[in-house]
Structure 1
Amino acid sequence: MDSVLGWPHSSFDESLARAVDAQRRSVLGTGAAVRLVGAAIFLVVTTALWLSGGADWAPYPPLLAPYVGVAGVLFAVRHRPEARWLGVVQSPVDVALVYGLQHLALPISPFPAGVAGFSLGLFALVVNLSGLTLRPVVVYGTALLASVAQGALMREAGVGWGAVVIAVITLFLVAAVKQYSTARLRMLAGALTRAEVDRALEARRSQEVEEARRTISRMLEEEHAKNEELRALQRDKELLTQFLIHDLRSPLSALTMTLGWMEQELPPGPLHESARSGLTVTARLDRMIADLMDVPRLEQGRLTPRMAPLDVSRLMEDVRRSLEGVARARKLTLDVVTPISLTLNVDSDLLTRVLENLATNALRYAPTGGRVRLEGGRDLHGAWVAVRNDGPPIPRELRPRIFDKYVQGDRELDTRRGYGLGLYFSRLAAEAHGGQLSVEDAPGWSTSFVVRLPA
């Protein structure tokens, strides 16, 4: 009989199935709660908009009201065995609801293209919720249904095929990311089950001293083997990560080319501006991918900055322009203050990505209507560049750790935004220049990130 660490293989499979089933029931309960609360909020908001004179919101309450009832039933039976299958059925119901709502809203809306674009976010949310079933076929099936429905809405609104294709690709990318996180959850359940089996095996064999000695010896050998396997897996994981990051650039390049073509072909107007904004976003995504690839090289000291004279004022102005759309959307003031002539001998690409990371972080935390400033200068210790904002200050107890790998503030942990790599990369890039990145106090600003470079 096959065995896992001395236990029958069937026992391990049963334990794994129970662990996965427990996780599935837990996340399905979460999904039921999200559906119920979200549908109730949408019902209240759309009803209020309708009653306040918004005629184009009239189709929403009649469809949302029964859906709230269905979501309530699903939440009530979330702990029963039938809930597993109700969760599977719920995904196509979600797609049908979104399509029905938007289909009814399109003819009476003064902005049908906006309604169709709004649908993409709703369908992405539905695809994410389908991942809570822990079933790949449900995730990709929901993405397929959502793509068909989104395409139909966009064509009905008169949107071109290029935008439809981009929307479909977006939905399947959401499904792929969601499925990857689901697979990681199953792996975690398997690892926890294996640990449980190990503990039970050790307890059973501890009855006899001699047997325990042999068991410990064997376990030590196994642990050494596991360590070797873990090291090999770590190498494979890093290699796979590099491959995945590298492969991400292919669709990103295709998307950039498509947006570039759209920018050239579209007449001046909202769509032309959207294509231009998309090109700005894809450029930032490409630099983010470069950050991910460069972090291991910076950690190991294998990335040497390519030093060359650089006009810091021009660099900061380029960064400001690239983020101007984000600042405008949040009604933030984003300005640049540097001496007339501030030239530094630095790696232009690395310093650009550092400033973009810090500026993006500042824009995220600055309050609506607030200020963000890119600033540079020299003092007795050398040259410096800073990114300041008037958002919430960083707690002093967090400042020594804020630049460590995977460290995030409470707000990021609560909203699950970011992965704690942006500031870590920025610190490594500053140190590669022989400088340092720190949080400093500055008059009139609650938060200031300062990169100090050697004279």
Structure 2
Amino acid sequence: MSISTPAMPFDDALTRAVDAQRRSVLGAGAAVRLVGAAVFLAISTGLWLTGGEDWASYPPILAPYVGVAATLFALRRRPVARWLGVVQAPVDVGLVYWLQHVAMPLSRFPSGVAGFSLGLFALVVALSGLTLRRSVVYGTALLSAVAQGALMREAGVSWGAVAVAVVALLLVAAVSHYGTGRLRQLAVALSHAEVDRALEARRFQEVEEARRTIERMLGDAQARNDQLHALQRDKELLTQFLVHDLRSPLSALTMTLSWMEQEVPPGKSPLNESVRTGLAVTARLDRMISDLMDVPRLEQGRLEPRKVVFPAAILLDEVRRSLDGVARARRLTLDVVAPEELEVMGDSELMVRVVENLASNALRYAPTGGRVRLEAGMDSGYHWLAVRNDGPPIPPETRARIFDKYVQGEAEKDSRRGYGLGLYFCRLATEAHGGRLEVEDTPGWSTSFVVRLPG
């Protein structure tokens, strides 16, 4: 299992977080507008009702604006709020200008109304800074400066005072931009930290889920492995019991054939030939049972070869005699090619069983009327024993694993003969001698098994 990547890229997550911070700030601005407009409406209405005629123009204009501010406040958490905040700034400028333009003719102090407008425009510029957009802040400041200049000139204020008012509004914009810039940096930093925390939490959760999944899979695999080991032990134990029990009837049969060999008159009669063949077969069966019994000991390194020097030709001839009946039954030529003087160092009993297993395998695969040869030789400091046949060649992809445990050739699989232990035993026995068993390419032969032993 692999750990999945976050569902959305980091930049998208950061943009979403910054937008959320911006909507939060715009919500604060909407609240200020709503509260400020409502308070100003209440004050102006009170002053008007108590006889202040100068305030008569304010309530009719402020009342609708309070409704607009309330709508903006209600939409503060919607995505559309970011655009309403941008539009709201020029609306605020227009509202202040309209209020003061209407109030100025009614006031006995027009210049005072114009001066009061400067504070209102400064408030509007400050509020525009909550959009966290520099263009909106300075745009609002310039629009406010134009409106303030128009009001001051309408009130008869000098151009010098107008210039001072314009500079004051631009300074308010600069201060507001600096403050809101720092606020924006803080919002970005907070958003960055929040996104990092969210992604880290997600990664931790995914890693934790992956860890639990892997632990569960490992637990399941361990349980299956333990079950397979238990089955393997049961199978090997059953095999040991079976082959051990086979020894008793086989020993009785061997004793009977040996008695018959002694009782039958000497000569080349069919009865004598049958008795000798029977003894060869029982000896071969006894070696096969020994193979099954010795595989676990070889696997565990508990079977130490008893090495002696023996003639290779005699060993190969013994194997030929034990399999001669099988070869004749299938009309196969089974011959031995080995120098008489060649001697090999090893456990002769184990080597007989190794060569016999390889020869039995070769006889099984050789076509009717085909050839099987047992050879011996020496090269590159190694003595070698080879079993060759002219049957179907072993595919290259099978050669690497044909000596593994329970691996069978296609013929055994199709006929359901054998259990894939013969070649495995041969490999273990050869390696116990410090040698190696391989399938080699030999001119004139389709298949050659070669046992190489240290010289």
- TM-score, scaled relative to structure 2: 0.49
